[in-house]
Structure 1
Amino acid sequence: MHVGSFFPHFHDEAKAFEFLESVVWADGVVCPHCGVVGGRVYDLSGVRSKPSAKNPKGVVRHGLKKCGECRKQFTVKVGTVFEHARMPLHKMLQAVHLMISSKKGISAHQLARTLEVQYKTAWFLAHRIREAMRSGDLATPFGGNGGAVEVDETYFGQRKGVNKARGGHAHKFGVLALVDRETGTMRSFTFDKYRAEQVHPIVRANIAREARLMTDEARMYAKIGKEFAEHGTTLHGARQYVDYSDRTIHTNTVEGAFSIFKRGMKGVYQHCGEQHLHRYLAEFEFRYNTRAANGFDDRARAREGLKGIAGKRITYRPTGEQA
């Protein structure tokens, strides 16, 4: 089974390199070794790898270039999450499309069957793509023009080494999410304990003081709510999900984002190690922020996701963990 045969970069290796170059080097070729932008670069077309028993004539090295300044060779994959990947680039681009276009994600087993690769290869590739989706930029605070920002937390999974208690959430992973209603974008964070010293700094750093803060009735937000222009609450314990005196006061948007996240984690991925949780959050956050309501289709989402591959690396260890 192959994906999107109508896109040549999904089944032709040379076209795959051309497509990735158009995304990563949209402003000119950048040498990953010396950092020169738009300098003298030579195409080394037709160069082959060293002969081997499996390939006596060697393999054509697509997209190979040479910098005229530092005289070193490179391809567009160098310095990205795809560097040193041993599978064809066109298959990795298929994986990007599958992960970005699947609303609740795609399991590594399904990815392996579709791409016709081993499970470990698909698992590691999926984490490479999640790392590309993860934004490391200093983001502008939500609600800067006085808009409504919803904040809520959720719990799921089982912490390693923590026994399940009769009540409470100490044995589960904690996730805090913020949604800016005006821009339709979300940010998600993990926390160890639902305490003010962990939650309040996240809220202060990501929400402008002129914003309208929307939460449930949790006492955690009572104090920090006074720091914003308005603090609207709904009484979920009393089954109140919208304040009928002011229907803009609710947290239904962020809870809708949580529902997609939980359905994906429970129904598709089923298990997540705590050390990988931040990348799974980045995956769902990216898809939420690039959904159709925000003006993206699957092709635009794929290009947006590929913009984040540069300057990131994940190394694989024999235990299956990532450095």
Structure 2
Amino acid sequence: MTAIFNQPQFQDADKAREYLEAQVWPNGRICPHCGVVGEHYVLKGKSNRPGLYKCADCREPFTVTVGTVFERSKIGLHVWLQAVHLMSASKKGVSAKQLERMLGVTYKTAWFMCHRIREAMTAAPSKMLGGPGSSGIVEADETYWGRAADEEGIRYPKGIKRGAANKMKIVTLVERDGDKRSFHVANVNAQTLAPILKAQVAKTARLMTDEASYYKKPGAHFASHQSVNHSKEEYARGDVTSNTAESSFAILKRGLVGTFHSVSEQHLQRYCNEFDFRWNYRQSQGFSDTARANMALIGITGKRLTYRRTHAPVFAFQ
């Protein structure tokens, strides 16, 4: 990690800006105001900061950070690049307290930086899971974490309502040898699962789950629905298994328990997105830590996350 941070883009703000421009604008500068790609004017002079351009069409000034999660940040871009690399390279995540110590910023700043980077790591799906060109197999499973809140936003006390009822709920879909998508949901039942599965999984896919009854009705929508019976200690039958989805939960929970310790319900979806991002750009898919961090940098555009918005509850599906 030390050798990585010796590179110029991690040491100098101007070098970091040039590096960021190369990732965000690989085919030329793009005006964030009107979307025109072209040879926009470079604004020079003592009154203009480095990296300031003027659109040749709409005549508006802009930099590479305008319209991104980095916009209006007073943190140097080289520090941002360090944070992005640390979060992209840490398999089980890196806490805001750790970033506070390593980057020399306040805890509040580190916490906000983490959430803005998670926003960059969150991308709209470009294709259905299990569709043409894939293995055609999608595993679905659910897990439970921490303590959920009641209707007034108050967490259930420890020891009350034992079992899954008072825990936060996460549903994950994993394409065999492909991508993973996780959803923080209010309830796990057929009514909740059906719209998620139909929106994310190709109709031609083979859906694989455990024996839970709430998968049966939504599963009829796909080419086939096969399950393993965990209650009878059946975990694989030929290629029928949900072990890939369960192994992804192992990484998520080790991060939640060992790195973050306590994650509230209002932010859980963002943490799920972060772990999904690292899974989808994992080493077995041909991505190094640097390549993964570059994908996160590409994802900064067209997104803004204010401090107030970070406190708004995030549910994938109600």
Within 1, Cα distance between the matches of 2:250 and 2:167?
A: 17
Aligned match for 2:141, one of 152, 160, 165: 152
Runs of at least 4 residues of structure 1 off by over 4 A? none
SS at match of 1:104: coil
Give the alignment's Cα RMSD to 1 decimal.
Answer: 2.0
Find the aligned partners of 2:221 and 2:64 in 1 and give their Cα distance: 47
Q: Deviations over 1:48-98 (max 9, x none)?
A: 57xxxxxxxxxxx23122223333322100100000111100000000000
1:37 corresponds to: 37
Structure 2 unaligned residues grouped into runs of 5+: 314-318
Per the alignment, residue 120 of structure 2 pairs with 132
Map of 1:8 onto structure 2? 8
Q: Secondary structure at the match of 1:274?
A: coil
- Determine whether 1:209 maps to 2:203: yes
State the AA in 2 paired with 1:8: P
Q: Structure 1 residues 100, 235: CA separation in 2 closer, same or farther (over 3 Å shift)?
A: same
Name the amino acid aligned to 1:308.
G
Contact 2:193 2:218 in 1 (8 A): no
Is the counterpart of residue 163 in structure 1 residue 156 in structure 2? yes
Q: CA deviation at 1:229?
A: 2.2
Could you tell me which residue of structure 1 aligns to residue 263 of structure 2? Answer: 272
What amino acid maps onto 1:15 in structure 2? K
SS of equivalent to 1:189: strand
Counterpart residue type for residue 142 of structure 1: L
CA deviations over 1:144-195 (Å, ceiling 9, x no partner):
247211000001011232425343312111111011114x210111111112
The answer to whether the 8 Å contact 1:132/1:309 transfers is yes
Q: 1:99 aligns with which of 81, 87, 90?
A: 87
Distance in structure 2 (CA, Å) of the matches to 1:174 and 1:322: 18
Stretch moving more, 65-74 or 119-128: 65-74
Determine whether 1:141 maps to 2:128.
yes
Q: Does the CA contact (< 8 Å) of 1:13 and 1:62 recur in 2?
A: no
CA distance in 1, matches of 2:119, 2:136: 30
The structure whose Rg is larger is: 1
Q: Which amino acid aligns with 2:42?
A: D
The alignment status of 1:189 with 2:183, answered yes or no, reads: yes
TM-score (normalizing by structure 2): 0.90
Counterpart Cα distance in 2 of 1:322 and 1:176? 21
Secondary structure of 1:227's counterpart equals coil
Give identity over the alignment, percent.
49
Q: Deviations over 1:212-251 (max 9, x none)?
A: 11100101112222332222211111222112xxx20111
**Structure 1, 285-294 or 151-160: larger mean CA deviation:** 151-160
Q: How many pairs align?
A: 305
Q: What is the 5 A alignment of 1:1-323? A: 4-39=4-39, 41-45=40-44, 47-48=46-47, 61-137=49-125, 139-145=126-132, 147-160=136-149, 161-164=154-157, 165-182=160-177, 184-243=178-237, 247-317=238-308, 321=311
Question: Letter of the aligned partner of 1:35 in structure 2?
Answer: G
Cα separation, 2, equivalents of 1:189 and 1:320: 18
**Unaligned ranges ≥5, structure 1:** 50-60
For residues 104-138 of structure 1, the C-alpha deviation after alignment (integer angstroms, 9 at most, x for no partner) is: 0000000011111111111000101000000124x
Of residues 291-300 and 197-206 in structure 1, the stretch that sits farther from structure 2 once superposed is 197-206
Bigger shift: residues 254-263 or 1-10: 1-10
For 1:7, give the aligned amino acid.
Answer: Q
Q: Does structure 1 retain, via aligned residues, the 8 Å contact 2:92–2:252?
A: yes
- TM-score norm. by structure 1 comes to 0.89
